[in-house]
Amino acid sequence: MGVPRITFTRFSSAGSAKLAPWREHRRRVIERTGPTATGPTTESADRSVVWQLLSANNRELARSADVYVDFISARASAVHAAEGVASRGTVTLVSDDQRGAYGWFVDVDQVTEIVCARWYVAERERRHAVELTLASLPLARIADGARQHVEWQLPAPRVASR
């Protein structure tokens, strides 16, 4: 039987189009609490590594609240979250009233370390996701490196000459 695990992804650059939704999701979740939300910002131009908590059946349960400069920083955040979530973690429940969706994030030692993997359509789904994350994170196996996210670009069309 599998175990929960934390994986890391390194994007080609901080400006990667695939990284923008990650930042936007974090912003929308954290800003639901207003201007007092704690934790690092994700606006630094050189940050391109993230982590995510995956269940034993490979479903994303949660993700890092920040984007990190390198694998070492991202791993330190994941370890801090895994070690502290049970004893020093504080779950904040949020909702997006315009979309009728529910989310959450976790502060460990007053730093936002974890955000929900997605928005949930029902309170019951959100509660289940929080419980599963809190139970899985301390047991998670932490990956030894970050996989590189490859962004595919279509080659420029060739123009036939006559």
Q: pLDDT tens digit string along 39-51?
A: 444 445 577 889 9
Do 60 and 28 form a contact (C-beta atoms < 8 A)?
no
Domains of the chain, by residue range, sit at 5-148
Scan for tokens 């609490």, then name that residue.
33
Confidence of residue 148 (pLDDT cuts 50, 70, 90): low
Q: Can you tell me whether residue 26 is helix, strand or coil?
A: helix
**What is the residue type of 79?**
V
Two tokens at 69?
A: 């400069």
More confident residue, 134 or 11: 134
Q: What global pTM score does this model have?
A: 0.79
Question: pLDDT by residue (tens digit) across 112-140?
Answer: 999 999 999 999 999 999 999 999 999 99
Q: Can you tell me whether residue 128 is helix, strand or coil?
A: helix
State residue 11's pLDDT score: 86
Decide if pLDDT at 8 tops 60: yes
User: What is the chain's percent helix, strand, coil content, to nearest 5?
Assistant: 30, 30, 40
Decide if pLDDT at 64 tops 80: yes
Adjacent-strand bridge partners of 159 = none
Decide if pLDDT at 157 tops 80: no
Q: Give the CATH architecture of domain 5-148.
A: Roll (2.30)
Adjacent-strand bridge partners of 115 = 63, 105
Average pLDDT over residues 103-120: 94
Average pLDDT over residues 106-110: 92
Do 104 and 91 form a contact (C-beta atoms < 8 A)?
yes
State residue 51's pLDDT score: 93
Adjacent-strand bridge partners of 106 = 91, 114
Average pLDDT over residues 95-115: 91
Handedness of CA 45, 144, 112, 91 (dihedral sign): positive
State residue 152's pLDDT score: 44
More confident residue, 65 or 37: 65
